[in-house]
Structure 1
Amino acid sequence: MEPAGKCAVVTGGNSGLGRATAQWLEAVGADVISLDLSGEAPEGVRFIACDVSDFAAVEAAVAAIEGPIHILANCAGIGGIGPIATAEGPGDMAAFRHVVEVNLLGAAHATAAVATRMIGNAPEGEDGERGVIINACSIASFEGQEGMGAYTASKAGLAGLTLVWARDLSRHGIRVNGIAPGFMATPMVAMLPDDFVAELLGDAEFPKRAGRPDEFAEVVDFVIHTPLLNGEVIRLDAATRPPARTKWSMD
């Protein structure tokens, strides 16, 4: 699909990977709408304040967008660290639920609302394509570390749903893919100590550095432009395979 002239919705489009994705889509000529809780959208991007964990709010935000929607990037997400249980008692289940509601249900809410609109699009090109949906997964989808239960549950669920949604929507000419980045230099991890970051990057094969949000956007570009790519989750992690735990989690 050629994104120029198309309407694209990016959840979490005001920061991090979502912001880079929104900026790239705007730069190539798409009409971009960011659904985010707060912050400032990139120049040229329309901002609709929306809590993606609230399906009614997502439906209202999507209803406010006029015309066909061809692209959805599910980038809204939050982090969370904590064990499922300790000798002192159960883990924080309210925090666990919140991470899953934002990262997993938020993507489901946006996909349900936007895909309904995409189904009504006129088919385009030789394949009759109507839309492209991209899920921001994570290497934690596959190798969650100690204490990352909520985050791993949300991202593993999103990775697993990518193929299911591709199968749900294929009859309508809509493709669904995921991108699973490793450690990326985004606001979500900006507060981490330098020693911790160095330890996390030590498991990267090459290059041994944090990924850049614009590199995520480049893979978004590839996914959108490649019709045969469907139901896949692409790792973007410098061949990183995280260990079970870090020295920081054991302290």
Structure 2
Amino acid sequence: MDPAGKQAVVTGGNSGLGQATVEALVAVGANVVSLDRSGTAPKGARHIVCDVTDESSVKAAVDQIEGGIHILVNSAGIGGMGPIASAEGPGDLAAFRQVIDVNLTGAVTVAAHVAHRMIGNAPSGEDEERGVIVNACSIASYEGQEGMSAYTASKAALAALTLVWARDLSRHGIRVMGVAPGFMTTPLVSGLPDDFVAELLKGAEFPKRAGRAREFADVVQFIVSTPLLNGEVIRLDAATRPPARTLWSAG
């Protein structure tokens, strides 16, 4: 699908991976709407305040978008660390539910409402596409580290849903893909100690550095413009395979 002139929705589009994706899509001529709880949309994009954990907020936001929606990038997300249980007691289940609500249920809710709108689009291009959905997964979808129960559960579920949604929506000419980044330089990890970051990057084969948000956006653009990509998750992690735990988590 050629994104020029198409309408795109990016959740969490005012910061991090979402912001870079909004900027990249605007640069190639897409009309972009950022769904975010706060902040300011990048230049050239429209911001609609939206809480992805609240279906009424999602429905109201999608209803404000006029015309067809052709591209959806689910990049809104939060982190979270904590064991499932310890000698002191059960893990923090309220914190677990919060991560699931944002990262998984939020993405499901937005996808449900936006995909419904996509089905009504006129077919586009020689393959008669109606839409493309891209989910921000994670290498934690595959190799979650100690203490990452909630985050891993949310991202593993998104990765698993990629093929299911592709099968649900293929009859309507809608593709679904995922991108699984490794450690990326974003506000989500901006407060981590330098020693911790260095330890995390030891597992990267090449290049041994944090990923850049624009690299995530570049992969999203490649997915959007390549019709044969469907039902799969692309790892973006410099061949990183995280260890079971780090010295920081063990301490």
User: Under a length normalisation based on structure 1, what TM-score does the superposition of the two structures give?
Assistant: 0.99
Aligned to 2:4: 4
1:230 aligns with 2:230: yes
1:120 aligns with 2:120: yes
* Alpha-carbon shift at residue 40 of structure 1 (Å): 1.1
**Number of positions where the alignment pairs a residue of Structure 1 with one of Structure 2:** 251
1:156 aligns with 2:156: yes
1:166 aligns with 2:166: yes
Note the alpha carbon deviations across 1:55-112, whole angstroms, 9 max, x for none: 1110110000000000000000000000000010011100000000000011101100
| 1:179 alignment partner AA | V
Aligned to 2:15: 15
Aligned to 1:32: 32
Aligned to 2:78: 78
How far, CA to CA, are the matches of 2:126 and 2:163 in structure 1? 23
Note the alpha carbon deviations across 1:145-180, whole angstroms, 9 max, x for none: 000000000000000001100000000000000000
How far, CA to CA, are the matches of 2:227 and 2:81 in structure 1? 37
SS of 2:205's equivalent? coil
* Alpha-carbon shift at residue 44 of structure 1 (Å): 1.0
SS of 2:183's equivalent? coil
* Alpha-carbon shift at residue 124 of structure 1 (Å): 1.3
How far, CA to CA, are the matches of 1:100 and 1:54 in structure 2? 13
SS of 2:48's equivalent? strand
How far, CA to CA, are the matches of 2:221 and 2:26 in structure 1? 12
Kindly report which structure 2 residues correspond to 1:94-105, keeping only aligned pairs within 5 A, or say none: 94-105=94-105
Aligned to 2:132: 132
Aligned to 1:246: 246
Note the alpha carbon deviations across 1:100-131, whole angstroms, 9 max, x for none: 00000111011000000000000112211000
SS of 2:24's equivalent? helix
* Alpha-carbon shift at residue 193 of structure 1 (Å): 0.1
How far, CA to CA, are the matches of 2:126 and 2:39 in structure 1? 40
How far, CA to CA, are the matches of 1:43 and 1:122 in structure 2? 28
Q: What runs of 5+ residues in structure 1 fail to find an aligned partner?
A: none
| 1:190 alignment partner AA | S
| 1:26 alignment partner AA | V
Kindly report which structure 2 residues correspond to 1:200-215, keeping only aligned pairs within 5 A, or say none: 200-215=200-215
CA RMSD, Structure 1 to Structure 2 (Å): 0.5
